[in-house]
Chains A and B, each alone.
Chain A
Amino acid sequence: MTTTGYLRVEVLRTSRNRMFLLFSLTFPLILFFAVAGPNRHGSLAGVPFPLYYMTGMAAWGTMIAVVSGSARIAAERSAGWTRQLRVTPLPARTYFWAKVTCSYLMALASIAALFLAGISLGVRLPVSGWLTTAGLILVGLVPFAALSILLGHVLAVDSLGPAMGGITSLLALIGGVFGPIATGGIWLGVARVIPSYWLVQAGKTALGGHGWPAEAWLVIAAWTMALTGAAFRAYRRDTKRI
């Protein structure tokens, strides 16, 4: 009752935030049609162009959806709302659970919209391919959820905009969201230890009906653990200081 109630309010608030919807849902869609439309019969990194871009844009949109949760946490902290919640029976765990779940629901909406867009440009996958792609993206977002809680606690509201924009853009670029930045050598090595790279790869690996290689799971798990630990420490420090 308590937990789903708070989640429902979170979803309601997010769906009323037009700027959020614009940047996490509409922008990736527009970019997808703008870039993949003219190249619909081409291919990129050994994958049909629209499939690559569909996964790339889904990775980008979902990343924004999840990481922008940090802005809401920071805003609620600076408004004193977090302190107000601490004198209600709502457990901190539930607060974060609702934030992350809400981000995930928005990410699902973003994935669904881009898949439909992909289909409209001729992307065809077996059912298992669609499910694997969506599933791997959702798993790949876990470290980003932790990152969002971390940023929400260490950054001030006025520095969060640029920080969030910079971090998501950088991760998107290295991960190959807008096209692969490297096909070999040191840059590929760098990209392969970045979680956003595996978000983009979710589409490619799903094409053959296979999931991620073990390396991907390892990278995602390592980032998840590191960022969750950092987020937890930031939360503890924040609640102690106030």
Chain B
Amino acid sequence: MTVIVPNSLSAHTPGADSVALTGLAKAFGSVQAVRGIDLSVRRGQTVALLGPNGAGKTTTIDMLLGLTAPDSGSVSVFGRSPAEAIRAGSVGAMLQTGSLIGYLSVRELVAMVAALYPRPLDVAETLRLAGAAGFADRRTRQLSGGETQRVRFAIALVGDPELLVLDEPTAALDVEGRRAFWSAMRGFAARGRTVLFATHYLEEADAYADRIILMAHGQVAADGPPTEIKARVGGKVIRATLRDAAAPALAAIAGVTRAERHGETIALTCSDSDVALRQLLRDYPGCRDIDVRGLGLDDAFLQLTQDHDRSLLTEATA
């Protein structure tokens, strides 16, 4: 029925879009998971889709891969439909959940997937790259969670796809495993491949992506290089015990973007906590129990959406 078109990537000019999402929206019942996303990813970019749970990352990825049909909007992968791009072997993916089929060794399973692609990588090399070479002869059902995750990574890589999509790939990995995983991912991206990964760790997005797309409530909240996004959501909160200081006065301190008071406890959200802390101590010497912490992503998103800062953000990252 469908003709398998040889991978016609040479027909794409360098720098052309790998992925283009236009007006993408999806609801599950009354829950609007994705509310209109427009974005394009250029070839060779490593892009992080960053957001808290429920931001719509997985739904967006599922639509990008053709696993979920959008209610409205369109998806283009290398100028084709997701299904066509997948049939041509241009896409490799590691989905958020999934286990492996049984009665096979790791090597047999990865070799089977390799055989589905037109120009796969060497199986042994892929297993080494994914950190699965040490247990390649073991049966798939005898692996630990971390080992399974590495095999799933090998399955995504082995077809040597032009576009690699990873949905929270390090979820089951320990610290060591994460480091190994990201170094393998970087090695793959260095071959000029496009990588799109979803994560809810700002540190991961910051360390391994060229570009961060920040998602909240099914929308793109910010989009730009990691330094800018980090400055935006990587703020800090100063908490302290302090009597006799009004919130508006505290909010006027340099470097403070927002001040709250709960009884004797104050919470200052800062864009520059160093500057704010110096002035706080100078102006309010009675300040005690000082605690400076990074703003969690959830807090950052909450702040972003509450403050209707989106317009500012767009300006900052445009």
* Residues of chain A at the chain B interface (Cβ within 8 Å): 1-2, 5-6, 9, 12-14, 16-17, 76, 79-81, 83-84, 86-91, 93, 240, 242
Which of B66, B87, B92, B97 is in CB contact (< 8 Å) with A80?
Answer: B97
With A88-B159, A91-B87 in contact, do A80 and B99 touch (Cβ < 8 Å)?
A: yes
A89 in contact with B99 (CB, 8 Å): no
CB distance from A80 to the nearest CB of B (A): 3
* Residues of chain B at the chain A interface (Cβ within 8 Å): 1-2, 4, 65-69, 86-89, 91-93, 95, 97-104, 108, 112-113, 115-118, 152, 155, 159, 165
B97 in contact with A89 (CB, 8 Å): no
Chain A residues with CB below 8 A from B66, complex form: 86
5 A-B pairs, CB-CB below 8 angstroms? A6-B112, A12-B103, A79-B99, A84-B95, A84-B152
Interface of B is mostly: loop
With A87-B67, A88-B86 in contact, do A9 and B98 touch (Cβ < 8 Å)?
A: no
B101 in contact with A81 (CB, 8 Å): yes
Which of B97, B102, B116 is in CB contact (< 8 Å) with A88?
Answer: B116
CB distance from A18 to the nearest CB of B (A): 10
Chain B residues with CB below 8 A from A87, complex form: 65, 67, 86, 91-93, 95, 165
**How many angstroms between the C-alpha atoms of A163 and B95 in the bound complex?**
31
**How many angstroms between the C-alpha atoms of A55 and B135 in the bound complex?**
46
Interface of A is mostly: helix
B112 in contact with A89 (CB, 8 Å): no
Which of A12, A83, A84, A89 is in CB contact (< 8 Å) with B87?
Answer: A89
Q: Closest residue of chain A to B2, judged by CB?
A: A91
A5 in contact with B116 (CB, 8 Å): yes
Which of A81, A86, A91 is in CB contact (< 8 Å) with B99?
Answer: A81
**How many angstroms between the C-alpha atoms of A74 and B241 in the bound complex?**
58
B91 in contact with A12 (CB, 8 Å): no
Which of A13, A83, A89, A93 is in CB contact (< 8 Å) with B67?
Answer: A83
Chain B residues with CB below 8 A from A86, complex form: 65-67, 86
A12 in contact with B67 (CB, 8 Å): no
A79 in contact with B67 (CB, 8 Å): no
Which of B86, B87, B92, B101 is in CB contact (< 8 Å) with A79?
Answer: B101
